[in-house]
Structure 1
Amino acid sequence: MDKQLHLNNIADSGYTIIGNVFNRAEVAAIIAEIEKADTTNPTFRKTDDLFAIRQFLKELPSVMPLIFTTKFKQLVKELFGDDYFVVKSIYFDKPEKSNWFVAYHQDLTISVDKRTDTPGFGPWTVKHNQFAVQPPLSILGQNFTIRIHLDDTDETNGALKVIPGSHAKGIYRPETINWDEERETVCKVAAGGVMVMRSLLLHASNRSTGSSKRRVVHIEFSKEHLPDGLDWAEKE
């Protein structure tokens, strides 16, 4: 891995793509473990367009050693150091010919264990007994996400579209995007590769137009210890 290249990509563009982090057998083992899951749990969402598992690592702890391989842990350490820990995880399966799409947005909320009146935190939401809140920009700006791709992903099956550099512009409302200045990039990632991205990077996903699945494990990391007794809901 060209460490400096990826560090530069993350700093300048807000994301980078790293191939061959997981080999074919490792990808197959992760998929096999997911297929054993009991989909009747409330944290599972299954429709014709989407299968998602929220609190993924908590729901499927057996997948932890399959994901946190020596190579994966070394990647995190080389790019971000030793201080980061997992704060959120979701599994997404966009089936073939899915009509599900996601408009441009930033990941502005974090999952926490309770609601408090902590200054700088808000607005609040709650879904499936899970509290979410928008924290100060100082927290969002240093958080990052790693998306592990279990299938080849391109523009035909819902690969992420991003606006490079948007992570450095604070809160950036999609309705204010100036397309005369900004450019859109489709992030193609091969199975076994990962996309590393800053939380404030504007990103979106189109409907699928082909006949292939798009399965992704989404893991968010932070090094921030929250104030006033507030804690991360999924801290690992």
Structure 2
Amino acid sequence: MINNVNNKARLYKDGYGIINEVYTKEEIDAILIEIAKADTSNATFRKTDNLFAIRQFLKEIPAVKQILFNDKLKGIINELFGDRYFTVKSIYFDKPQKSNWFVAWHQDLTISVDKKTDTPGYGPWTVKQNQFTVQPPINILENNFTICIHLDDTGEGNGALKVISGSHLKGIYRPETIDWQKETEHTCNVNAGGIMFMRPLLLHASNRTTNNKTRKVIHIEFSNTELPKGLKWAEKQMVFTI
């Protein structure tokens, strides 16, 4: 049984949590079958020796939505965050067995929007693969959350996320100012079919692969905040109508 009371307390205190057995092996296989059908020639696909990624994942492969947003995941979202949240960004990552790809310590400080506008409190702006991203006011980041759906067993050897517990409560926390005399990193081991939920302001990182195992993860960001007039979420999709 999922103890969402403890999960909610941990989310507030630590900024993250792990829940295993959200998806069956059959559901994972069904997700991977849909991914294998995709046309990888689109600009939202990135394929190198170190990484296969699909940006705007839910838009590119809509058939996975019914599988991903099963009753168990919807129940978790409703109990931890409420039923007013919607998806605002989605990426699929496939880190191959011999990948040298790693991610340095960072917070997720930007959101994806439909266009660039002169909006007070929003900036700086960037463009990646025809996608506009911008740093919003901090209250939006504090309210958003991310769910990482693991399609492989993930541990330290194949790039499981490392996090600094409680760092989401410290506002904008620059990696170069981390005081390792006070902070401790934790590795988030997640079983295939499990999820990790986290706040975007949580400092996190990922190591290179050393154990010759893949790491396939679906990263989905959620918000319940409408943006100012003239600005729209680039990937907004409702959750509880799926």
The TM-score range, normalised by the shorter chain, is over 0.9
What residue in structure 1 maps to residue 86 of structure 2? 85
Please state whether the residue corresponding to 1:16 is helix, strand or coil.
Answer: strand
Q: Distance in 1 between matches of 2:139 and 2:212?
A: 41
1:145 aligns with 2:146: yes
Q: Distance in 2 between matches of 1:208 and 1:181?
A: 27
Q: CA deviation at 1:228?
A: 2.2
What residue in structure 1 maps to residue 20 of structure 2? 19
How far does the alpha carbon of each residue in 1:100-157 deviate from its partner, in whole angstroms, 9 at most, with x for none? 0000000000000011111100000112221100000010001000000000000000
Correspondence list, 1:73-222, <5 A: 73-222=74-223
Q: Distance in 2 between matches of 1:190 and 1:82?
A: 26
Question: Which amino acid counterpart does residue 190 of structure 1 have in structure 2?
Answer: N
Q: CA deviation at 1:28?
A: 0.9
How far does the alpha carbon of each residue in 1:150-189 deviate from its partner, in whole angstroms, 9 at most, with x for none? 0000000000000000000000000000000000000000
Please state whether the residue corresponding to 1:156 is helix, strand or coil.
Answer: helix
Q: Distance in 1 between matches of 2:209 and 2:129?
A: 28
Q: Distance in 2 between matches of 1:212 and 1:175?
A: 30
Q: Distance in 1 between matches of 2:121 and 2:56?
A: 25
Question: Which amino acid counterpart does residue 188 of structure 2 have in structure 1?
Answer: C
Q: Distance in 2 between matches of 1:217 and 1:127?
A: 19
Relative to the length of structure 2, the TM-score reads 0.97
What residue in structure 2 maps to residue 233 of structure 1? 234
How far does the alpha carbon of each residue in 1:47-77 deviate from its partner, in whole angstroms, 9 at most, with x for none? 0000000000000011111111111111111
Q: Distance in 1 between matches of 2:105 and 2:151?
A: 23
What residue in structure 2 maps to residue 38 of structure 1? 39
Moved over 6 A (4+): none
Q: Gapped runs of 5+ residues in structure 1?
A: none
Backbone CA RMSD of aligned residues: 0.6
Correspondence list, 1:47-86, <5 A: 47-86=48-87
Q: Distance in 2 between matches of 1:72 and 1:83?
A: 14
Q: Distance in 2 between matches of 1:199 and 1:120?
A: 18
Q: CA deviation at 1:36?
A: 1.1
Q: Distance in 2 between matches of 1:189 and 1:170?
A: 27
Relative to the length of structure 1, the TM-score reads 0.99
Q: Distance in 2 between matches of 1:100 and 1:57?
A: 24
Q: Distance in 2 between matches of 1:216 and 1:203?
A: 15
Question: Which amino acid counterpart does residue 124 of structure 1 have in structure 2?
Answer: W
Please state whether the residue corresponding to 2:54 is helix, strand or coil.
Answer: strand
Q: Distance in 2 between matches of 1:205 and 1:97?
A: 15
Identity %: 65
Matched residues, number: 236
Question: Which amino acid counterpart does residue 107 of structure 1 have in structure 2?
Answer: D
Q: Gapped runs of 5+ residues in structure 2?
A: 238-242
Please state whether the residue corresponding to 1:78 is helix, strand or coil.
Answer: helix
